[in-house]
Amino acid sequence: MCKIFLFDALREATDEEMERDSSVFVLGEDVGHYGGSYKVTKNLHVKYGDLRVLDTPIAENSFMGMAIGAAMTGLRPIVEGMNMSFLLLAFNQISNNAGMLHYTSGGNFKIPLVVRGPGGVGRQLGAEHSQRLEAYFQSIPGLKIVACSTPYNAKGLLKSAIRDDNPVIFFEHVLLYNLKENLPKTEYFIPLDKAELVRRGSDVTIVTYSRMRHHVMQAVDILIADNYDPEVLDLISLKPIDIKSIVTSLSKTNRLLIVEECMKTGGIGAEIIAQINDNYFDLLDSPVVRLSSQDIPTPYNGNLENATVVNPKQIVDSVRTLLS
């Protein structure tokens, strides 16, 4: 076992897959000599050269299109978005090309593409650098979407994503890169379509993902001290949503709390509620509660920024209300 940072776990996954398969390459802004905006690709250009760790111009639509074309011809590109917010500039390429080409080509082309990078609400990064794009991409057919939350699942998920023959949007949270965890020295993979059961419990099911997993676990410590017994699921897969794992837990607890950093309107939580109400309404002993970010641009002011994001106290209060 070796204790490493989350950004190093992602770097290890990239390095191992590039060493194993010469068709894997990285491209994006400052991924080469600078080492990536959060050092996920640090020194990889020394080992693999400037063509396999390719610095691109600041033109997201152009290099995304280039990556998709490379995937069509048999390569396995990893695109780093310097900030996932900037991928809105490549939305057409991701939607109409990456998501649809396997279908529109009659199955003649595969698109083994990973698009990864930092996102979420950081610390005073401003509205345009604090986007949560998971809901933007969630409705696009043909994409897989995952959100890592620990160094362990970050490495296993990225290795699986690189080997997958479908386009994968891989969300990393800007405030989780410095998390440290012991990782096995042996190779491992994590499936792209399964939620992780973080804690078993019997009173209420709490579904979350990405940075909110850690806010939930802070709240859980308080709830356990008050003799509550929550079950916690980390979604990991945002598309497809592992509704089976949610239902398995809900069959036991009959109460559901969703905690997300995504905006409330049209967010991941909204999709879960729709699926539960459509197909599993009889399992509920009370309405589903959803804690989401405010439907406003993220303020630059630190106090206002904090007020837009779900905090552990809100989670504790919501569980107490659900179980009262």
Do 190 and 240 form a contact (C-beta atoms < 8 A)? Answer: no
Domain that includes residue 10, residue range: 2-183
Are 18 and 118 part of one and the same domain? Answer: yes
Are 17 and 156 part of one and the same domain? Answer: yes
Taking the C-alpha atoms of residue 190 and residue 72, their distance in angstroms, rounded to an integer, is: 25
- Spans in the chain with pLDDT lower than 70: none
Active site residue 231: no
Are 76 and 136 part of one and the same domain? Answer: yes
Are 103 and 6 part of one and the same domain? Answer: yes
Are 40 and 150 part of one and the same domain? Answer: yes
**Domain boundary residue among 183, 213, 232?**
183
Q: Look at residue 267 in the predicted model and tell me its pLDDT.
A: 93
Are 137 and 220 part of one and the same domain? Answer: no
Are 42 and 63 part of one and the same domain? Answer: yes
Q: Look at residue 126 in the predicted model and tell me its pLDDT.
A: 85
Q: What is the CATH number of the domain that holds 234?
A: 3.40.50.920
Are 216 and 316 part of one and the same domain? Answer: yes
For 131, the token pair is: 């986007």
Alpha helices, DSSP H, located in the chain: 6-20, 44-48, 60-72, 91-92, 101-104, 134-138, 151-163, 212-225, 243-253, 268-279, 302-308, 312-323
Which of 163, 172, 171, 204 lies closest to 286 in space, CA to CA?
A: 204
Taking the C-alpha atoms of residue 7 and residue 42, their distance in angstroms, rounded to an integer, is: 10
Q: Look at residue 123 in the predicted model and tell me its pLDDT.
A: 86
Q: Look at residue 129 in the predicted model and tell me its pLDDT.
A: 86
Are 250 and 143 part of one and the same domain? Answer: no
For residue 307, give every residue at least 6 positions away whose Cβ sits within 8 Å of its Cβ, in sequence order, or none: 294
Q: Considering 17, 29, 80, 129, which one is annotated as catalytic?
A: 129
Are 167 and 217 part of one and the same domain? Answer: no
Are 170 and 209 part of one and the same domain? Answer: no
Taking the C-alpha atoms of residue 93 and residue 254, their distance in angstroms, rounded to an integer, is: 41
Active site residue 214: no
Q: What is the CATH number of the domain that holds 164?
A: 3.40.50.970
- Whole-structure pTM value: 0.95
Are 74 and 222 part of one and the same domain? Answer: no
Q: Considering 29, 60, 172, 271, which one is annotated as catalytic?
A: 60
Within-domain flag for 53: yes
